[in-house]
Amino acid sequence: MKKLILIIAFGFLSNGIFAQSSLKEGGIQLNAGVGVSDWGFVPFYFGLDYGLVKDVTIGGQISYLTNNDNYYYGNSNYNHNSAVGIGANGNYHFNRILDIPSKFDFYAGASVTGLIWNYDNKDYHPGYDPLNVGLQVGGRVFFNNHFGINLELGGGSTVSVAKFGVTYKL
């Protein structure tokens, strides 16, 4: 039994060692997960990255967050807020120039996100902007040629402090 477990563990580890992390030109990967927002909400996101040229990806993301907490801002009482974020991003992947092992992916870039806010009293909330521009830095660990986990820190979207999720390469 111990030998069987050892063989299975070695198979998973060796599969991860030979995983290809950098997205090739024309390649597509899907990302999904949860985040932390500086608005106190817990957002969910789904995104897609496209390998534009060597070491550069562009992509899009849709995110959603909601909060049922009561709070007072200005002269209005707010009971429910939600937002849908639709954004675009561009990232540079540092694996090649930093000679990072292929099962890892380290990147940084910029994003722009349009936000559609929904309020219970339909008044414009001056504390929330409809358009955000931000920077991000992140990384992925791939367990095989298709599946990995990701962590990204940054701002400019509904997921504006950190996000954690899974990545799947098509």
Contact 141, 147 (CB under 8 A): no
**Residue 56 token pair:** 């550069």
What is the pTM (predicted TM-score) of this model?
A: 0.76
Count of domains observed in the chain: 1
**Residue 67 token pair:** 């909060």
Tens digit of each residue's pLDDT (9 = 90 or more) over 129-169: 678 888 999 999 999 989 999 999 986 666 668 899 999 99
3-state per-residue secondary structure call for the chain: CHHHHHHHHHHHHHHHHCCCCCCCCCCEEEEEEEEECCCCCCCEEEEEEEEEECCEEEEEEEEEEEECCCEEECCEEECCEEEEEEEEEEEEECHHHHCCCCCEEEEEEEEEEEEEEEECCCCCCCCCCCEEEEEEEEEEEECCCCEEEEEEEECCCCCCCEEEEEEEEC
Look-up of token digits 């801002």: 73
Decide if pLDDT at 117 tops 90: no
Pairing state of beta strands 104-119 and 131-142? Answer: antiparallel
Residue 95: give its domain's CATH number. Answer: 2.40.160.20
Q: Which domain holds residue 83?
A: 2-169
Decide if pLDDT at 67 tops 80: no
